[in-house]
């Protein structure tokens, strides 16, 4: 087995999802090459070389890959794919955007968002918002896979010594270009890898009240999440959304405040280790997955919680 792992990184270091993808690669078994593509990504390539079990890093440093536009990036990966039995990427925007295009160009199927590895051909993936788990076998010569970060441990990072090779950039297909971005700035831990996540829902009532969620998150050194309703109402930015179509999280502690617990929301957090729900409606479905439920008005419970945690 020869596996190509596409790194998700910020040019300085690899992100957590890349380390979870390495665990999936180890479960498949075989030699792992990691591709680090970007503009000014040499430090990230050095960082990738330190990951246990990476045997080689390919560093492709070019403005063409600065934003991982699918057209040029997929072409680069397709050029490499023939040497590998598996191509894996974390199921983050980059992986979800690029790998299906790679699969189509190679005329093979793709396995999205796997949560388990049975063997080198057989994988487990959630369907219907995680209400069913499909075990799927691929007969294709190369398997194109995105990996659900929340479902795999992160591999050790620090004592690997893989060589870094320079990879020449491909052609620019000239189909797309980057215009700009609006990224949410935050000093808090990244939502998908935080140890604690505090999420607010429609029950928060306003963007102003939503600051209570941020305060709780800061008290517990956690990240902030939101339901779709909270995002749609403008209480929180889109990248805070947890759920079937948002981010998938599995922290040690997930606190849902004023969230009803629709299946689409549960899909994104029900694998958390400990779930706390605060909701004034004792019938709210969120209580069916909560380890600790508090039936209360959040406008009383949240300040009380802040005070109790401050003790």
Partner 1 sequence: MKVLVAVKRVVDYNVKIRVKADKTGVETANVKMSMNPFDEIAVEEAVRLKEAGTVTEIIAVSIGPQQCQETIRTALAMGADRGILVKTDDEVQPLGIAKVFKALVEKEAPDLVLMGKQAIDDDSNQTGQMLAGLLGWPQATFLSKVALGDGAATMTREVDGGLETIEVKMPCVGTVDLRLNTPRYASLPNIMKAKKKPIETLELDSLGVDTAPRLTTVSVDEPPARQAGVVVPDVATLVDKLRNEAKVI
Ligand X SMILES: Cc1cc2nc3c(=O)[nH]c(=O)nc-3n(C[C@H](O)[C@H](O)[C@H](O)COP(=O)(O)OP(=O)(O)OC[C@H]3O[C@@H](n4cnc5c(N)ncnc54)[C@H](O)[C@@H]3O)c2cc1C
Question: Which residues are annotated as part of the binding site for FAD?
Answer: 202, 227-228, 241-245, 258-265, 279
Report in angstroms the alpha-carbon separations of 168 from 60, 148, 241. 6, 30, 37
Three-state SS at 309: helix
Q: Does 96 bind ligand X (CB under 6 A)?
A: no
The span from the CA of 199 to the CA of 147, in Å, is: 24
Tell me the pairing of strands 143-147 and 31-38.
unpaired
Contact call for residue 148 and partner 1 (CB under 8 A)? no
Query: Which one of partner 1, ligand X, none interacts with residue 308, CB within 5 to 8 A by kind?
Result: partner 1
CB 277, CB 259: distance < 8 Å:
yes
Please give the Cα distance from 28 to 44 (Å, whole number): 24
Nearest distance from C-beta of residue 236 to ligand X, angstroms: 10
203 in contact with ligand X (CB under 6 A) = yes
Residue 176 or 206 having the CB closest to ligand X: 206
Nearer to partner 1, 162 or 253 (CB): 253
**What sign for the dihedral angle of Cα 14, 241, 293, 302?**
positive
Tokens representing residue 59 in the block: 């560093």
Shortest Å distance, C-beta 108 to ligand X: 28
Quote the CA–CA distance of 178 and 174 in Å, as a whole number.
11
Min dist CB 244 to ligand X, Å, is 5
Return the residue of 27, 43, 120, 263 that touches partner 1, per CB under 8 A: 263
Q: Which stretch binds partner 1 (CB under 8 A): 42-50, 79-87, 155-163, 176-184?
A: 176-184
Return the closest-CA partner of residue 228 out of 253, 256, 187. Answer: 256
Q: Is 151 in the site for partner 1 (CB under 8 A)?
A: no
Residue 289 interacting entry, from ligand X, partner 1, none, C-beta within 5 to 8 Å by type: partner 1
Note whether 272 and 245 are within 8 A (CB).
no
**Placement of tokens 């699969």 in the chain:** 103
Enumerate residues 97-136 that contact partner 1 by CB under 8 A.
Answer: 97-105, 107-113, 122, 125-136
Site for ligand X in 232-251 (CB under 6 A): 241-246
117 binds, among partner 1, ligand X, none (CB under 5 to 8 A by kind): none
Please answer whether residues 294 and 276 qualify as being in contact, where contact means their C-beta atoms are separated by less than 8 angstroms.
yes
CB-based contact 305:216 (threshold 8 Å): yes
Q: Which stretch binds ligand X (CB under 6 A): 79-87, 190-198, 215-223, 293-301?
A: 293-301
* # of chain residues touching partner 1 (CB under 8 A): 90
Site residues, ligand X (CB under 6 A): 201-203, 227-230, 241-246, 258-260, 262, 264-265, 268, 279-281, 284, 297-299
């Amino acid at each position: 087995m020869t596996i190509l792992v596409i790194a998700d990184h910020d040019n300085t270091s690899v992100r957590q999802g890349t380390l979870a993808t390495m665990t999936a690669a180890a479960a498949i078994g075989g030699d792992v090459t990691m591709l680090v593509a970007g503009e000014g990504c040499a430090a990230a390539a050095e960082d990738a070389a330190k990951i246990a079990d990476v045997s080689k890093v390919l560093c492709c440093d070019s403005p063409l890959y600065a934003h991982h536009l699918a057209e040029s990036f997929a072409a680069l990966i397709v050029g490499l794919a023939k040497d590998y039995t598996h191509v894996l990427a974390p199921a983050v925007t980059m992986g979800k955007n690029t790998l299906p295009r790679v699969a189509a160009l190679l005329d093979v199927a793709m396995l999205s968002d796997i949560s388990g590895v049975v063997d080198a051909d057989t994988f487990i993936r959630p369907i219907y918002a995680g209400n069913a788990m499909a075990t799927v076998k691929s007969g294709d010569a190369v398997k194109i896979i995105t990996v659900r970060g929340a479902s795999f441990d992160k591999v050790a990072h620090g004592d690997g010594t893989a060589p870094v090779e320079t990879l020449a950039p491909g052609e620019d297909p000239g189909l797309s270009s980057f215009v700009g971005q609006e990224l949410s700035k935050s000093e808090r831990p990244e939502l998908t890898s935080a140890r604690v996540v505090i999420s607010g829902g429609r029950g928060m009532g306003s963007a102003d009240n939503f600051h209570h969620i941020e305060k709780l998150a800061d008290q517990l050194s956690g990240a902030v999440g939101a339901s779709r309703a909270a995002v749609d109402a403008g209480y929180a930015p889109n990248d805070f959304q947890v759920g079937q179509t948002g981010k998938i999280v599995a922290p040690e502690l997930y606190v849902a405040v004023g969230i009803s617990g629709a299946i689409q929301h549960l899909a994104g957090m029900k694998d958390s280790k400990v779930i706390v729900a605060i909701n004034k409606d004792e019938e709210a479905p969120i209580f069916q997955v909560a380890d600790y439920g508090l039936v209360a008005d959040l406008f009383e419970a949240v300040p009380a919680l802040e005070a109790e945690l401050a003790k």
